[in-house]
Structure 1
């Protein structure tokens, strides 16, 4: 049986991580903190030594705790709708404004897949030879070292994220290498989202900060979004994750449909008038109502009944329907999925977000509560199967972020 730890150690460890990262306390996996602390104690260090070192945010121990708490889940062209919007709407608008170069920032880029995806999307969307550059930043230097190597395995490529633009070359052992032309315009630097980006990096036309702020406390999230907005050029676009902002940030207007979570920084003298939804993201006309046809012949008792599809397959079908504009069809698939597999966390989250985007918050809240309750039963670091494997704490943090934001309204 494991020896009891001084409770002050874990409490202080969580405080250190929260102060550095902005993470909510309940988004910090206790198991990760305990693993680090026990490892230090096993090396012969005393509780007093550890408490003393944790007084200094720049200490080696503080850095180790932060790395243990970070979630580095990422892959190429995650949330493809953002890259399509960037290419089809964002880049043409920037060129019309007379931009002489386009700059992108992947904030919280982890191991770099998002930064390279952003660079590939920009490069493929501008005239040949037009200047483009992308910066990727993260708090974890080891992740940035991986990004600079520009070599990735199958985990960075997912079926749920199409290869939208030329990005990599296939190599041996299922490894891929980022194209030199993409790698050449992408750089990486260490940075904290709770601190202003150093002025030497300049301003950006496009900032991607997605699926990072989910873990932040409300005050830290608002502070980070304000800092991101300050780094945009007038007219620049900020792309956020699905549940990371419930209102339009100050000085910005929403771009596209609400589910895009994309915001444009207003220019001098510009008012916050509604922006038309670009043609490519307009929803198709609602499909005709489903007609319930009577069963022709009852299924015999001994007949072979086809088992329902695996949850992830139904989830992918729903995502395809959403991408095609068939919101009603996607809703029907997700409702069926939640009935068949009530413990499938990705399905609960997807249906809740679909309800929220449709303006039915009263129907989304119970789903988010169910999501939180089921996620709490799992070990925080346990990966949950779905179109993308994410730790259980991601789902708990997503539900908490949504429910906490809703409580403030």
Structure 2
């Protein structure tokens, strides 16, 4: 089908899609890419002109390509076992730990059925008067517009996914509309999983990101999971698709059976931190008793050696503690000192860059990500890097690449 298309044009188009979405090459629908390119050429444009536009990252054509390849399959209460677990385990646990509100994020929400399902679930189980808020995000603005309208047909209601909680009302024989009380606690916004969610969105008790990462390359998936995990409130639950990961993401613990693909962020009191190194004991000199009538010698106690400074990993953990306490300024101060004292400590560079990004300081995050990419690229890809979690160097390289590529596209 690609006959007649300039191979350079086709390759560049696929590269733009991969850089923007994080999709694996084999997950990018060739037919969709070719359809967009042929439509451009049919308008009278020459291949060199189209190729030139594709070199301009963030161009309208790049957006059209991304929109063409995105997969929007979703329906109400898809994977009902996740909603049952939230109802039976997640919300009661949050309430036992003194939750004052319930917040959820549907990441990669498409046309919003999952977002409204989560909102209905939280509303049905929250105590009377408890604030509930659910955010749905997606790359595709047209899908978000459909989600905001909140009107759906039969395809969004499947027999395989029963309506576990009140979420919509019947408009006519074929369409339904989201209940006003569910719509009231739900909002939608554009966001890319390859970048951290802005700080203004806060943290969430429940995050759903199901059947999204299955299309991602390994490096893009790892970077996205880091952003998802960081958006979890302590004690929060992340739900992923059935085959998207085969182990708990860094910093999270598995909940329930493996097939549930639910992961929890430990609360501060559940975390174990390495002990600060202690100075070795100072030896006490043994003295020979002096003969009588002689003055006792004057002993000069040796000066104890200074305590060694905290290790980079320990300083990093101190910063994470402050982040979980909501002390962003304190965390920033610790991370700035860490990066200054240990500029080759990759987890510190990444942590500070993400903190800058979430605070809206992208100009301050970019140099850190560039430094991270340079230093990570100098290590063997599978070399384990010391930190709160031992991760391979390729993880840090992929995180930096994903962030820098996304920034160039915006």
Paired position in structure 1 for 2:18? 18
Is contact 1:253–1:266 with CA below 8 Å preserved after alignment?
yes
* Correspondence 1:61-76 to 2 at 5 A: 61-76=61-76
In structure 1, distance between residues paired with 2:215 and 2:123 = 31
Deviation at 1:175, TM superposition (A): 0.3
In structure 2, distance between residues paired with 1:57 and 1:85 = 42
Deviation at 1:129, TM superposition (A): 1.7
Deviation at 1:49, TM superposition (A): 1.3
Deviation at 1:181, TM superposition (A): 0.3
1:321-351 deviation per Cα after TM superposition (whole angstroms, max 9, x unaligned): xxxxxxxxxxxxxxxxxxxxxxxxxxxxxxx
Q: TM-score, normalised by structure 2?
A: 0.65
Q: TM-score, normalised by structure 1?
A: 0.65
User: Quick check: which has more Rg, 1 or 2?
Assistant: 2
* Correspondence 1:320-331 to 2 at 5 A: none
Paired position in structure 2 for 1:109? 109
Paired position in structure 2 for 1:32? 32
Paired position in structure 1 for 2:83? 83
Q: Any idea what SS the aligned residue of 1:237 has?
A: strand
Is contact 2:2–2:34 with CA below 8 Å preserved after alignment?
no
Deviation at 1:101, TM superposition (A): 0.6
Paired position in structure 2 for 1:237? 237
1:258 aligns with 2:267: no
* Correspondence 1:115-130 to 2 at 5 A: 115-130=115-130
Deviation at 1:56, TM superposition (A): 2.5
Cα distance, 1:2–1:221 mapped onto 2, change above 3 Å: closer
Is contact 1:20–1:57 with CA below 8 Å preserved after alignment?
no
Q: Any idea what SS the aligned residue of 2:72 has?
A: coil
1:62-121 deviation per Cα after TM superposition (whole angstroms, max 9, x unaligned): 000001110000000000000000011000111111111110000000000000000000
1:295-345 deviation per Cα after TM superposition (whole angstroms, max 9, x unaligned): xxxxxxxxxxxxxxxxxxxxxxxxxxxxxxxxxxxxxxxxxxxxxxxxxxx
In structure 2, distance between residues paired with 1:219 and 1:269 = 31
1:6 aligns with 2:6: yes
In structure 1, distance between residues paired with 2:260 and 2:254 = 9
1:249 aligns with 2:249: yes
1:210 aligns with 2:210: yes
Q: Any idea what SS the aligned residue of 1:86 has?
A: helix
Instruction: Name stretches of at least 5 consecutive residues in structure 1 with no aligned partner.
Output: 273-409
In structure 2, distance between residues paired with 1:93 and 1:56 = 49
Deviation at 1:57, TM superposition (A): 2.8
* Correspondence 1:224-373 to 2 at 5 A: 224-271=224-271
Q: Any idea what SS the aligned residue of 2:270 has?
A: coil
Paired position in structure 1 for 2:346? none
Paired position in structure 1 for 2:59? 59
Q: Any idea what SS the aligned residue of 2:111 has?
A: coil
Paired position in structure 2 for 1:41? 41
Paired position in structure 1 for 2:98? 98
Deviation at 1:132, TM superposition (A): 0.3
Paired position in structure 2 for 1:161? 161
In structure 2, distance between residues paired with 1:96 and 1:43 = 62
Paired position in structure 2 for 1:195? 195
Deviation at 1:2, TM superposition (A): 8.1
In structure 2, distance between residues paired with 1:55 and 1:246 = 37
Deviation at 1:172, TM superposition (A): 1.5
In structure 1, distance between residues paired with 2:86 and 2:269 = 24
Instruction: Name stretches of at least 5 consecutive residues in structure 2 with no aligned partner.
Output: 273-410
In structure 2, distance between residues paired with 1:158 and 1:7 = 42
Is contact 1:57–1:63 with CA below 8 Å preserved after alignment?
no
Deviation at 1:3, TM superposition (A): 5.6
Answer with 16-25 or 41-50: which moved more: 41-50
Cα distance, 1:3–1:252 mapped onto 2, change above 3 Å: closer
In structure 2, distance between residues paired with 1:101 and 1:220 = 32
Paired position in structure 2 for 1:50? 50
Paired position in structure 2 for 1:132? 132
Q: Any idea what SS the aligned residue of 1:172 has?
A: coil
Q: Any idea what SS the aligned residue of 1:54 has?
A: helix
Deviation at 1:268, TM superposition (A): 1.9
What is the aligned length? 272
In structure 2, distance between residues paired with 1:134 and 1:117 = 10
